[in-house]
Structure 1
Amino acid sequence: MIAEIITLGLFLAGLGLCIFTGIQILYALLFGLACFSLYTLSRGYSVRETCSMLGEGMGKVKNILIIFVLIGSLTSIWRTCGTIPFILYHAMGLIDPRFFVLCTFLLCSMMSFLTGTSFGTASTMGVICMLISNAAGLDPALTGGAVLSGSFFGDRCSPMSSSAQLVCTLTRTDIYTNLKNMCRTCPIPLLISCILYVALAGRETGAQVDSGLLALFRDNFSLHPATALPALIILGLALFHVDVKYAMGASIAAAAVVAVLYQGAMPADLMKSLWTGYRAESETRLSSLLNGGGISSMVKVGIIVLISSSYSGIFSRTRLLAGVKSALQRSARIFTPFGTVVVTSVLSCAVSCNQSLATILTCQMCGTLYPSKEKLALALEDTVIVLAPLVPWGIAGAVPVATIGAPMVCMLYAFYLYLLPVWNLLTAFYHERPKAPVPASHS
């Protein structure tokens, strides 16, 4: 037990040091990798077995890494081909500052439900809404919070969501049964979030769209209706439940054709921009609005995900977390099973720095708190899935926030993401606390 405490303590100390000193989180994760590997070796496992555990964890995120490449490409080529300028040009005239933030939340919620990807939503609809917000002079923190909330609405409850599928796999439940259960726990938090976005956006009545931006887009892009095709392809394929990777790939291919035919892009320059991101040639104001994207912007994030996900193999095949599980069993008798899952989720998200690993950890540590697999799945969806993006140094929140160019404080305005667990925690205290007996751990 002492070895486990020392190992976890060292990792948390390294993580805390990086967070409070501003050192890149990558170094803390590498330090954690060394700590956990040394622990495994000290327990009698060979170097080969330890490497196997690390590889097992990394293998679980290969799909996410592919999506990172697609997101980087999409965020660049939608700018180059004129898709984002086209939508901005036609949407800016429709802005009513009183309801724009609410519309941002609802549009991102719809997009994430259709596509099942929070990162994809943030990099498409989220970027568009954020650019319109900036052009209109609205509060970027408030709009960013609406984008973040909406992006994870579908990440939680879309049948196409990799997070929802991960929960099904971990709990061995049916995706559509889980979706039905999720629909019962979200209406009140959803309604309160909408009210808050309308109420807070009402302060922005003086915001106006700069009409000069319309001329800026007209002068620098062809705004032919065909430039909307890449966005329509994403939406259309999502309606037919096509895998998000194929949908994004099809959109990228269509955007490449549009960029060549309508924007006069050279194929060689287009290929380069997929890596470097979109860069306006001369117009300073245009560059401040549109520059960004590209696969290179996702490299650091991909490395962080790969390293942090390698931990899960060690956690699942050693007793490193055995003491934590025992403590959680006892706490559930006081705080209710759901309350214990909330606390575990917060700690897992803070330590793991990515949603997938946090979900795996929370499920591993809280798996015996619920006699019903469906209730465990619902508890995971109402906690770790939506709490992960609220950790400033975590991948789930940092990537969308960086993608849309919002300030980190926007997490405070992601109302839906914390109202959902708070509301369900209140109802859990009402319904679960009288039923405090918790099944004994079988580990």
Structure 2
Amino acid sequence: METTGNKKDMKLGWALLPLSVMIVVMLISIVQLGQGPHIPLIVGTAVASIVAWRHGFKWKEIEEMMYKGIRLALPAVVIIILVGLTIGAWIGGGIVATMIYFGLKIISPAYFLVTICLICAVVALSIGSSWSTMGTIGVAGMGIGLSMGIPAPMVAGAVISGAYFGDKMSPLSDTTNLAAGLTHTNLFVHIRHMLYTTIPGLIIALGVYAWLGRRFADSMTDSSEITQTLTILEDSFVISPWLLIVPLAVILLVAKKVPAIPALVVGIALGFLAQVFIQGGTLADSVGALQSGYVIDTGNELVDNLFSRGGLDAMMYTVSMTIVAMTFGGILEYSGMLQSIMNQILKLAKTAGSLIASTILAGIATNATCSEQYISIVVPSRMFAGAYEKMGLQSKNLSRALEDGGTLTSVFIPWNTCGVFILGTLGVGAFEYAPYAVLNFIVPVISIVYAFTGYTIERMAVIQQEEHVAEQAAQ
């Protein structure tokens, strides 16, 4: 086995060992024992540490790998905490109740899935954040859908599809800017190129939601149940269209390029004030809603489950899973295990079609191994850029493949920060909503079909390709 200093090359078998052990333990824990993913991720981290140690890394270096992984997730952790506070404040302030109340009055059950998908798409497109959209509009959408008798996984799937469409296509989105920047692609060229895969994906998703909605058109929910829910909301909260100013203010702030964190803080403050001055809550109750979530007891199980949630404490499960997942991902990334896996994927890329398909598969693999959406864009972009240049493919092909394979598929990995966030926010697990997050799984398929047929795959001009080769040779 070759060595570089005291570090041994990471062979594929060793690189796959921690991931394989983690997945086996994960299946036993979740499927057979009905437990969460934390312990399997810790087991995977332990195995990865042993593999790294065997390949010449000292314990202090392995610790630093874990810390690097955690540092990558810290922005996500802050957002997760703020979303928990937002949910508690907005439920206590009657904002969520108001959105659900008017939603039940206005939206037809048969078209609800289509409607909530489009609303989330527009909001995420405006503010550039799928997480903020799901944590605000998505929470209200879950309440409306459940009140109509629509299964939670269906509602969550429609919310996710819409939120990720808007996030992916927004010039304000972090992942969109990241994919364009890392590949040196003009931002709007990148967005226009994504239209070819994402618009058909949205159309297919809306068609599926329209078809699913038909079953709820007639005998979906007895209208008396909706009437009862509306009555309970009127009795439990002050319902006013003026409360809709709060979510509109947050959307407007982010659309005006105010960063997500201060925008969410404004939303939390407005929700807190609404609970005190509009809903008549005490300061103790309002602070309690931020800390441990809002609690309501109406005697109606649906309403109680819907509104007894939120708060800082409720997000600690999500935060702890994110931290554990990123310790695992940090070791895989910085020890060279992920590099070894990516190198094997790269060997399969003999044609333009297989190269793009390999990029998409690499994004999925990175989401599963490193548990972070951003890494699924960063790592494949570094590894595949040279191959795209050698094949004469324009950089926008790479940037689109990174988003189609990395950004969208992160939601399907239960231990990925995106899957963890959705569980904590919408209350539905990845395996449950996966069949209904249509846009997220259909766009990678469309992208791979395009890759092998050559449709919308654009190549560099001969002169441009020669310039790239010359630049590489000079470096």
- TM-score after normalising by structure 2: 0.84
Worse-matched range after superposition: 122-131 or 221-230: 221-230
Query: Quick check: 1:67 aligned with 2:79?
Result: yes
Q: 1:101 to 1:49 in 2, by over 3 A?
A: same
Q: 2:365 aligns with which of 315, 325, 347?
A: 347
Q: Superposition pairs for residues 112-131 of structure 1, below 5 Å?
A: 112-131=124-143
- Is 1:279–1:292's contact at 8 Å kept on the other side of the alignment? yes
Please state how far the C-alpha of 1:195 moved relative to its aligned partner. Answer: 1.8
Moved more, 37-46 or 27-36: 37-46
Q: For residues 407-426 of structure 1, what are the structure 2 equivalents within 5 Å?
A: 408-426=431-449
Question: Which amino acid in structure 2 is aligned with residue 378 of structure 1?
Answer: R
Instruction: Find out whether 1:103 has 2:115 as its counterpart.
Output: yes
Q: What does residue 240 of structure 1 align with?
A: 256
Over 3 Å counting, the alpha-carbon distance change for 1:228 and 1:136 in structure 2 is: same
CA contact (8 A) 1:160 1:243 kept: no
| Residue 221 of structure 2 is aligned to residue 204 of structure 1 | no
> What amino acid sits opposite 2:205 in the alignment?
S
Once the two structures are superposed, what CA deviation does each residue of 1:325-377 show, in whole Å capped at 9, x if it has no partner? 33222211266112112222332223333323333444354444322443222
**Structure-2 change in CA distance of 1:17 and 1:310 (3 Å):** closer
User: Mean Cα displacement is larger for which, 371-380 or 254-263?
Assistant: 371-380
Tell me which amino acid in the other structure corresponds to 2:325: S
Q: How many residues align?
A: 439
- Compute the RMSD of aligned alpha carbons: 2.8
State the match for 1:13 in structure 2. 21
SS of the residue corresponding to residue 178 of structure 1 reads helix
Post-superposition offset of 1:78: 0.7
What corresponds to 2:374 in structure 1? 356
Cα contact 2:125–2:166 (8 A) shared by 1: yes
Structure-to-structure mapping, 1:297-376, within 5 angstroms: 297-311=314-328, 313-333=330-350, 336-371=354-389, 372-376=394-398
Aligned partner (choices 427, 431, 438) of residue 454 of structure 2: 431
Contact 2:121 2:163 in 1 (8 A): yes
Q: For 2:177 and 2:328, how far apart are their aligned partners in 1?
A: 20
Matches within 5 A, 1:21-420: 21-22=29-30, 23-168=35-180, 170-206=182-218, 207-208=220-221, 209=223, 210-285=226-301, 286-311=303-328, 313-333=330-350, 336-371=354-389, 372-406=394-428, 408-420=431-443
Q: State the Cα distance separating 1:52 from its structure 2 match.
A: 3.0
Identity of paired residues, percent?
Answer: 22
Q: Deviations over 1:81-125 (max 9, x none)?
A: 000111111221112222211001101111222232222222211
Distance 2:60 2:324 in 1: 18
How far did 1:7 drift?
4.8
d(CA) in 1 for partners of 2:296, 2:149: 22
Where in structure 2 are there 5+ consecutive unaligned residues?
1-8, 460-467
Deviation at 1:313, TM superposition (A): 4.8
The letter of the residue matching 2:266 is A
Q: CA deviation at 1:296?
A: 1.7
Give the Cα–Cα distance (whole angstroms) in 1 for the partners of residues 381 and 451 of structure 2: 18
The answer to which of 220-229 and 77-86 deviates more is: 220-229
Q: CA deviation at 1:420?
A: 0.9
User: 2:348 is paired with a residue of what secondary structure?
Assistant: helix
Cα distance in 2, alignment partners of residues 70 and 192 from structure 1: 33
What are the superposed Cα offsets for residues 228-247 of structure 1, whole Å, 9 maximum, x if unpaired?
23212112212212211111
